[in-house]
Amino acid sequence: METYHVEEGRETHGYEGPLHVSRGGSSSRLADEFIDAAKELYGWDSVVDSQDFKTINAPSLWAKWIHPDTGKRSDAAHGYVHPTMDTQDNLHLLVAAKVVRVLFEGTKAIGVEYVHKYCH
């Protein structure tokens, strides 16, 4: 589902999906100072990617759902829903609705039961 732009070849990430993950195109000396302070004060080594089970809880500059070329947020609506709606007429987007259940014929989904104008 993702195209990971932070570092190539990481087995915990994808590289051909419609959702883009990057550092967001900006950097901050203050963020670097926090990483340096974690090393100096606590001996914590920073990692490139803290979003896997091996390096979780290590200091890291956080990757975000941002396309590195456009600087725009990369989300499921723009990665999946809108492109499908542009090419297919069998997808209907309902906002303010809550799915109650998916309807099946055998193992094939044939519909969705929902409550309209759902508010939580």
pTM: 0.70
Cβ-proximal residues to 2 (8 Å cutoff; 6+ apart), any chain: 13, 14, 15, 17, 19, 20, 21
Bridge partners of 73? 66
Per-domain boundaries in the chain? 2-89
> Residue ranges of the chain with pLDDT lower than 50?
none
pLDDT at 51: 79
- Does an H or E element contain 82, and which? helix 82-87
pLDDT at 116: 86
pLDDT at 119: 62
pLDDT at 20: 96
